[in-house]
Amino acid sequence: MIYYGAKDLARSFRTVRGNTLTIAEEIGEQHYGFRATPETRTVAQLLVHIAQLPKLQMQIHAAERRTTLAGFDFPAFIGAMVAEEHTPRSKAQILDLLRDGGESFAQWLDGLSDDFLGENVTMGMPGAIPASKTRFELILGVKEHEMHHRAQLMLMERMLGITPHLTRQMQARFAASQAGPTASSGAGR
């Protein structure tokens, strides 16, 4: 039995994507060409990469409904995604990619069954450990991958002089708790 199901995946993915969108909105378009080091992606490339992340799992699980990854042409698929990262886009176009692609993926997640999520997919590479993973684990990887890259974006925000929104929210909660119940509830006036 799966206790964390499709609706949970969709809800948590929407939360993660919402936070990514907030970061993308807060970074000025003039900084979309910024890269932390010469060999890393620019802000724009990283955001497009994030927008592309669901496509691999959608191809494997929705379009092809594969039960094995043997024979899947990863280099060609990833190559096309990298080419998309290098396609010039405005900030507005990138935000649209993140919004539209994210919501499309979340809607797909909403409709998945526990049985589907519990199916095993053979990794298809000789000596791969583990030899198979559930669709749930593979699909959950989209959110984990996005969170990894979102952390990179938050560091880039710091380098650009922006305090990330999640940090600002945490600081506000901490400040409110330090002020005590009297200040936050209006008691004692």
Q: Into how many domains does the chain fold?
A: 1
Look at residue 125 in the predicted model and tell me its pLDDT: 73
Residue 59 belongs to some domain of the structure: yes
CB 17 within 8 A of CB 52: no
Residue 1 belongs to some domain of the structure: no
Residue 112 belongs to some domain of the structure: yes
Overall pTM > 0.85: yes
CB 138 within 8 A of CB 121: yes
Instruction: Give the structural domain span for 140.
Output: 6-185
Residue 138 belongs to some domain of the structure: yes
Q: What is the mean pLDDT of the chain?
A: 92
Specify which residues 132 forms β-bridges with: 122
Residue 135 belongs to some domain of the structure: yes
Residue 121 belongs to some domain of the structure: yes
Residue 17 belongs to some domain of the structure: yes
Helix (H), strand (E) at residue 122: strand 120-122
For residue range 101-111, what is the model confidence (pLDDT) as tens digits? 999 999 999 99
- In this model, does residue 189 exceed pLDDT 50? no
For residue range 10-56, what is the model confidence (pLDDT) as tens digits? 999 999 999 999 999 999 999 999 999 999 999 999 999 999 999 99
Look at residue 3 in the predicted model and tell me its pLDDT: 81
Residue 82 belongs to some domain of the structure: yes
CB 146 within 8 A of CB 48: no
Give the CATH number for residue 131: 1.20.120.450
